[in-house]
Structure 1
């Protein structure tokens, strides 16, 4: 915990996603009182994207953060706002390409278990 997934457009191959993940971990620690060593981020490159009626001219990034239950709605809202701002700092606008940046924070299901081996 936290389990973080970044789904991102192939139009954004030039972004340093490892640098973004490291910065994101710091934001999660500061905002949601998580432990740095517990933050795990996977960046997934999507293959096909459609926005409205268009297949091209758009890039999408969505960050999903799953935390153990117990954070207030206000904390989750502050975290999503901070993540979107961090995306704006790391993903530069491109001519002719609409950027769609989003984030969500949710509670892990009570069935969540982990093992470190």
Structure 2
């Protein structure tokens, strides 16, 4: 915990996953909500197929989902969401003539059912 997943459409070209992962982790770990930087796990998922709406116009998306243990205040969640959005705004590709939709979602994980262990 926390788990950060960035999904993006394949029409965004060369997506800067490695650089973005470093920037996202630095921004999220700077929050007082993250007690240990090694707890944050970030991954990227490039979708194979997608459809945005019904119009035949160039569109793309970047969606971030941060999953963390329940109990954070709405203000803390808003801060985390904005930290992520700021990095995505700065680093997401913007192909000419393509509308890129950006979204960030904070999801609470159920504390009693969550299992985390270190192996090895």
TM-score after normalising by structure 1: 0.90
Alpha carbons of 1:13 and 1:109: their partners in 2 closer, same or farther (altered >3 Å)?
farther
Instruction: Establish whether residue 64 from structure 1 lines up as the match of residue 65 from structure 2.
Output: yes
Structure 2: runs of 5+ lacking an equivalent: none
User: How is 1:1-117 mapped onto 2 (pairs within 5 angstroms)?
Assistant: 1-34=1-34, 35-54=36-55, 57-110=58-111, 111-117=113-119
Deviation at 1:93, TM superposition (A): 2.1
Contact 2:25 2:40 in 1 (8 A): yes
Deviation at 1:95, TM superposition (A): 1.1
Deviation at 1:92, TM superposition (A): 3.4
1:37-59 CA-to-partner distances (Å, cap 9, x unmatched) read 11101100101111110466111
TM-score after normalising by structure 2: 0.88
Matched residues, number: 117
Deviation at 1:6, TM superposition (A): 0.8
Q: Which sits farther off after the overlay, 71-80 or 32-41?
A: 32-41
Deviation at 1:79, TM superposition (A): 1.3
Structure 1: runs of 5+ lacking an equivalent: none
Alpha carbons of 1:53 and 1:75: their partners in 2 closer, same or farther (altered >3 Å)?
same
1:12-62 CA-to-partner distances (Å, cap 9, x unmatched) read 241211111111111111225312111101100101111110466111111
